[in-house]
Amino acid sequence: MILVTGGAGFIGANFVLDWLAGADEGVVNLDKLTYAGNLDTLRGIAADPRHVFVEGDIGDRKLVADLLAQYRPRAIVNLAAESHVDRSIDSPEEFIQTNIVGTFRLLEAVRAYWSGLDADDKAAFRFLHVSTDEVYGDLDKNAPAFSETNRYEPNSPYSASKAASDHLVRSYHHTYGLPVLTTNCSNNYGPYHFPEKLIPLVIHNALAGKQLPIYGDGQQIRDWLYVKDHCSAIRRVLEAGRVGETYNVGGWNEKSNLEVVHTLCAILDELKPRGDGATYASQITFVKDRPGHDRRYAIDAGKLANELDWKPAETFDTGIRKTVQWYLDHQEWVGNVTSGAYQHWVGKQYGS
């Protein structure tokens, strides 16, 4: 069995669904069900005996210790986190609690469990920590893409909290010998993405006839990776990654935000044209920039490609089209997650 944390969130749920579709090994899924966690996403495996869902906090030492003792997982994949940069600017406290204190407590519980394993199980055990390219900070326009040896220069409370968690994970390997792996991935997109993030927000707002908010000049650059390709990279690193190493994961898809939004509008114009014949791009609105907004991220995923022979299955063109189609086909899921607390966040972040 493996223990996945944060498995009701965007990447975690995709990871659990893909894992169970591709292997018979069971999953214990520990998730606090914050605003970002959604059991609706896991509805298809609700009755699957290979999936055990536990509502709880990675920072709850006793709960985690009990789960480890009961299920004796051979590996942990840590995806639980507060993940939204804008929320970290608005209220950083939860990011410190979950991403730093929570990861620390999880590591402590795992260290105690791992120390008690017999020699073979100890050697085979893995703690895989899922992190982000944002820990490397802002990249100059013409600088080479981030490699694993780039300095950590986090610029938001979110990325600083993720950087801190990465350092803790690293230290548990160097100090205690815990067999850890860390992945630093670029921006994901795809099914079950909560519509607070750029791509699902734009699709959702476009269909609702609302403004498509572009922060600042929209020339900020991100590297985009289809979520299922991120999941395949995590599985590959878990399977064959060298203990103690970090692996950058990316899609070789650098795009400006404006380019991404225009692409979404063009696909929507084709698949679900507006009733009045106008393009969705007419809904684009430039709004106040994000404080401390990093201009560019870019990932060099060469180490993962060369050492572990991983490459993404989707190009940006194929992945983004699948994503738009998924949202058009799953409006009920979107409706469920955009009620209640979501409205409060949108009002606070974008005004009326």
296 binds ligand DAU (CB under 6 A): no
Window of 17-25, 81-89, 239-247, 299-307 that interacts with ligand NAD by CB under 6 A: 81-89
185 binds ligand NAD (CB under 6 A): yes
Please identify, using beta-carbon distances, which residue of 27 and 283 lies nearer to ligand NAD.
27
Among 31, 57, 133, 314, binds ligand DAU (CB under 6 A): 133
Q: Do the beta carbons of residue 311 and residue 253 sit within 8 Å?
A: no
67 binds ligand NAD (CB under 6 A): no
Hey, which residues are catalytic here?
133-134, 158
Q: Do the beta carbons of residue 225 and residue 186 sit within 8 Å?
A: yes
String marking each residue 218-257 x if it binds ligand NAD according to CB under 6 A: ----------------------------------------
Question: In 58-168, at which residue ranges do the beta strands (DSSP E only) sit?
Answer: 75-78, 126-132
Q: In the chain, count H helices and then E strands.
A: 14, 12
Q: Do the beta carbons of residue 313 and residue 232 sit within 8 Å?
A: yes
Task: Measure the CA–CA gap between 96 and 105, rounded to whole angstroms.
Answer: 12
Task: Measure the CA–CA gap between 260 and 243, rounded to whole angstroms.
Answer: 36
303 binds ligand DAU (CB under 6 A): no
CA nearest 223: which of 303, 315, 318, 157?
Answer: 315
Find the shortest distance in angstroms from Cβ 102 to ligand NAD: 4
Q: Do the beta carbons of residue 164 and residue 198 sit within 8 Å?
A: no
The dihedrals phi and psi of 181, each to the nearest 5 degrees, come to -140, 145
Binding site for ligand NAD (CB under 6 A): 5-6, 8-12, 30-34, 36-37, 57-59, 79-83, 98, 102, 130, 132, 162, 185, 187-188, 194
Binding site for ligand DAU (CB under 6 A): 83-85, 132-134, 186-187, 197-198, 201, 213-215, 220, 222, 257, 290, 297
